[in-house]
Amino acid sequence: MSINLNDLLRKYKSHPYEDHEILAPHTGVVKFKVEEGQAVKGPSGQWLHRPGTLLYILEREKNPKRITSRFDGIVTDLRVDLDGKFVEAGQPLMLIRHRLNKQEITNRILKEVLHIFPAPERARYFFTPEISAKFEKGKTKSLSVKTGDEIVIMSLMKRDTTLNYEGPSGVLYEVYFKNGDILEQGAPLFGVCLPERLPFVEKVIQRIKTEWDD
Amino acid sequence: MEQKSILDSGKYLVTLQDRVSYLADIKGGFEWGNLKELFERVQELRTNLFEYSERELLQQIYSLEGRIEFAERQVAKRLRPIEIVNIVRSVQRFTLLDILENCYDSFTELGGDGEFNIDPAVIAARATITRRVKNRLYYHQVMVIGHEKGMGEEFRNGGCAKPWGNEKALRYMKVAETEGIPIHFYIFTPGAYPIEDYPGAAQQIARNLFEMAKLRVPMISFISEGGSGGAEAIGLADMRLMASRGYYSVISPEGAAAIEGRIKEGGKVPRKLVEHCAEQLKMTAKDNLELGTIDRIVEEPPLGAKRSDFKFFKRLRYEMVRATDEVVLKTKSFRAFRAYALRRQSQDKEKVFNDEFDIHIKWTLSESEKDRLLEIRSKKYRAMGKGFKVLKRPFSKRLTRFWESTRHKYYDIRYGLLRKQSKNLQKILEEVSSEGSVIFKTVTESMRAAYDFVFPAPQKPAQTSQQDPLRRSIFMQDWEQYISPLANEDRTVTCPNAEKYGCKDLWVPDLYGEYSGVCPTCGHHFPLEYQWYLENLFDKGSVREFNTQIVSDNPLGFKGFDEKLKKAIERTRRGSAIITFDAEVLGIKLVVAMLYSDFRSGTVGSAEGEKFIRACDRARTTRRPFLAYIHTTGGIRIHEGTLGVIQMPRCTLAVREYIDSGGLYIVVYDNNSYAGPVASFLGCSPYQVGIRSSRIGFAGPRVIRETTGTDVPPDYHKARNALKRGHIQGIWDRREFRKNLFEALMTMGGPNLYYK
């Protein structure tokens, strides 16, 4: 697997956005409730129970349906010409352009360049005592792992299982949980960086941190 | 004015400052009169205490005291209800711990100590209270249970009992019952803490009421701050006393104002509206005495008792002992004793008041006296809260009365007299037969033949209709005859779960016709009108309504409510939010009470309570199962004030008597069921079921957010969560309601279906 970090960085530099195309879910008459360039919000609240900004109303068979935004961003490419007209299902209506912040770009780049080790089951996770001790001493950046190493303990119903690392040897670069967290199945536990890639990765992250405007 | 020395002046100035602050508390700020100036003057004196000569200082203090006294008299002259509410909420008002310290000789707190407590808002204590008779002291053991507001102690939650706090109260009530000692309840709560965590606010209050209905010890309650459901959790007592400057209300004036003024969440409620609501709710002691929701007022000083009003505590101790005496004496048959109960010292003659009693009365009761205690309690609550209207029916009235009494006698003979004999005889026969004696077999067989001839086995309706009722389709032609008027629209609607489950838009005539208002993809239940259930749940033509003559009224004369009531009556063509009727489900006769949404959101007032009790009694007389189908209930009707609140203990008592006599009581919740009714006569049922997509709880999300300051998940009140928390026992699909109800009647009722 060869990844050109410069290309990756250039890609985000040239287009630091995530575009969400808003398509009509079904046929109906559309009435826009936003304007070009307007900032919209996605769902909010602890349980994302407060709907986002109202984008448009799609009416079919006397059933006006309120379509709200599912993302934070700015409205672009709004098809004003379709306002008050009948549209087909799948018709693009607007674009919601979400500007990625430092953290989001860093996470995306890391997910692409690191080898991610996922949680095999929904359980409580701990690092093994040896790894924890190294963490306490602040030796995380030089922590090398290889296939077969005991790294994480999965605790489920008072049954502890030690998980052996499987994957390319490298440095434990990013940890996505705190000792004792309950994680869902498939959630990332940690990411391992290949030793040869390490200097580049660090450089890129550093550049994002210093150069990027939030 | 007593002579003061310079040494006391600092301390005395603090007292004066407290008195001014207290007046400001009552008036809602320093803007009234010259309170601000008085306060600043006291402050100034306190700061420059040593700048004055002794004589000057004392003169200043005397003059200030005179002015404060004048201000106090002015405030006391005309106390408005909102000012009484402010008195109750003042940090200087007495609390339960003050009562325990000053009215009782010794006490041991149970189940907690200060902050180390399952719920510090509720205090339970084993205490002794003394009575002086001719200079001799007698000690009584009592259980004291009440709310502690803990002025300034955050962990007390201002006296808002959490569900487990009310559970603690119930636990110690049972301890008192085991030990046979009276219980003194002290109510100091603005309301229960509205959370659904197990056992759930509503469930626990309902359980408390259910137990208290038949608790076999004398119970006295004293109300200082009686906030609706929270107060009722420890309020169902044999004698209810109230502090003269206390309040007892269905809702806080701010809550009522937010509802009346339709104020949006987070919006400011106008002060004028709050004051108006406080007046309309009739929450003061005097109002409550007139309404009959309390028995007696315990007089306080004109501006309310504070933490150091020892005279008041002396009076309160006397009143509590006296009230317990009276409850105990009423269970005795000695007339002389009862006459003594009437000779209570007048409260007005404060000067001649002494706390000496003429005689010593023991507070232990015999079993027969306990039975009488329960009988009196039942009668007492049944006579309360009758703020409804009875429509006159001159021609049929006599006929109805005659019919009712004949009906009563018939059922008494059928299930009372004859059934008792038949049961006894049957028991003897079974015992003899079980010996398996060949010798007796011939004798018993002939006896059984004779018995069967005299008491022929009644044909059980369940058996007669059991010609495979379950195999018979419930979607028969009679289902198709009633079509919801909601179906008469040519349009589509979107299921609220469309995003989650990808439900397709539904054409309204299909949805409310063929699909019975249920989304075919995810099973979401769209609300349907109550008539749909009347037509589809019960056997055709079996619904026979009764007690239609009892209609809702405006007993408090709440301004603007008459018009609202008139509109509701015109729109629904019914007189109350409850329909009570006899009906049949696949041949099983039952009595049904149905609260429905169209009439004032299914809120419960006096008429609804009375009709519910009568339906309960009818089910008891006729020995039929009793179904409470809750189409929607928004709680207790605030416009009826405490007359509405009192329906909680009243109806729970009726339910308890019905269940104790062997009845089967099933509650089915649909759409939205909240507050008072769920926390009493509905929540106390052993069999509660929710229809899918229904919401059940104590307080709605807005009230929870405003009271506790924390948000709740959007599905917090959903039936599924109520099931998880153990509030309900099952969730039924609307389309299978009839079948499930029949099965429930057969399995849960079993042989006890008609009579134990």
Percent of chain B surpassing pLDDT 70 = 87
In angstroms, the separation between the Cα of residue B489 and the nearest Cα of chain A is 10
CA distance B605 to B643: 7
Q: Which residue has the higher pLDDT, A139 or A63?
A: A63
The contacts of residue B380 (CB under 8 Å, 6+ apart) are B238
Reported as a single tens digit per residue, the pLDDT across A17-35 is 999 999 999 999 999 999 9
CATH architecture of A103-211: Beta Barrel (2.40)
Structure tokens of B369?
């006296």
Nearest neighbour of A63 by CB, restricted to B494, B711, B714: B494
CA distance B142 to B179: 10
How crowded is the C-beta side of A139, counted as CA atoms within 13 Å? 10
Contacting residues of A for B492, CB less than 8 Å apart: 60-63
Statement: residue A115 has pLDDT above 50: yes
Statement: residue B443 has pLDDT above 70: no
Fold of A17-99: OB fold (Dihydrolipoamide Acetyltransferase, E2P) (2.40.50)
- What is the residue extent of each domain of chain A? 17-99, 103-211
What single-letter amino acid sits at B508?
Answer: V
Reported as a single tens digit per residue, the pLDDT across B99-157 is 999 999 999 999 888 889 999 999 999 999 999 988 899 999 999 999 999 877 889 98
Count Cβ atoms within 10 A of the Cβ of residue A208 and give its class: 0-12 exposed, 13-18 middle, 19 or more buried.
middle
In angstroms, the separation between the Cα of residue A57 and the nearest Cα of chain B is 13
List residues of A whose CB lies inside 8 A of any B CB. Answer: 26, 45-47, 49, 60-63, 65
CA distance A145 to B695: 52
Contacting residues of A for B714, CB less than 8 Å apart: 47, 49
User: With the CA atoms of A86, A89, A90 and A94 taken in that order, what torsion angle do they form, in degrees rounded to the nearest 10?
Assistant: 30
In angstroms, the separation between the Cα of residue A16 and the nearest Cα of chain B is 29
Count Cβ atoms within 10 A of the Cβ of residue B323 and give its class: 0-12 exposed, 13-18 middle, 19 or more buried.
buried
B88-382 has which CATH code? 3.90.226.10
Closest-CA residue of chain A to B713? A47
pLDDT given for residue B473 in this prediction: 46
CA distance B348 to B362: 28
Q: Do A17-99 and A103-211 show the same overall fold?
A: yes
Does the CB of B713 have a partner CB in chain A at under 8 Å?
yes
Does the CB of B446 have a partner CB in chain A at under 8 Å?
no
Sorting pLDDT into bands at 50, 70 and 90, what band is B474? very low
Percent of chain B surpassing pLDDT 90 = 69
- What is the residue extent of each domain of chain B? 6-78, 88-382, 394-458, 485-526, 528-752
Domain B528-752 grouped into CATH 3.40.50.300: no
Q: Give the highest mean pLDDT range of B107-111, B629-633, B742-746.
A: B629-633
Sorting pLDDT into bands at 50, 70 and 90, what band is B434? low
Nearest neighbour of A61 by CB, restricted to B491, B711, B714: B491
Contacting residues of A for B489, CB less than 8 Å apart: 62
- Which of A26, A27, A29, A46 to probe the B interface (max B CBs under 10 A)? A46
Predicted ipTM > 0.90: no
Contacting residues of B for A45, CB less than 8 Å apart: 711
Other Cβ atoms within 10 Å of B715 Cβ, number: 12
Closest-CA residue of chain B to A46? B713
Statement: residue B571 has pLDDT above 60: yes
Average pLDDT over residues B672-693: 96
Does the CB of B29 have a partner CB in chain A at under 8 Å?
no
Contacting residues of B for A49, CB less than 8 Å apart: 713-714
Statement: residue A53 has pLDDT above 80: yes
Q: Do B88-382 and B528-752 show the same overall fold?
A: yes
Nearest neighbour of A47 by CB, restricted to B489, B492, B713: B713
Listing from the earlier edge strand, what are the strands of the sheet with A115-118? A115-118, A188-193, A170-175, A144-145
Nearest neighbour of A63 by CB, restricted to B491, B713, B714: B491
In angstroms, the separation between the Cα of residue B494 and the nearest Cα of chain A is 8
Sorting pLDDT into bands at 50, 70 and 90, what band is B383? very high
Sorting pLDDT into bands at 50, 70 and 90, what band is B435? low
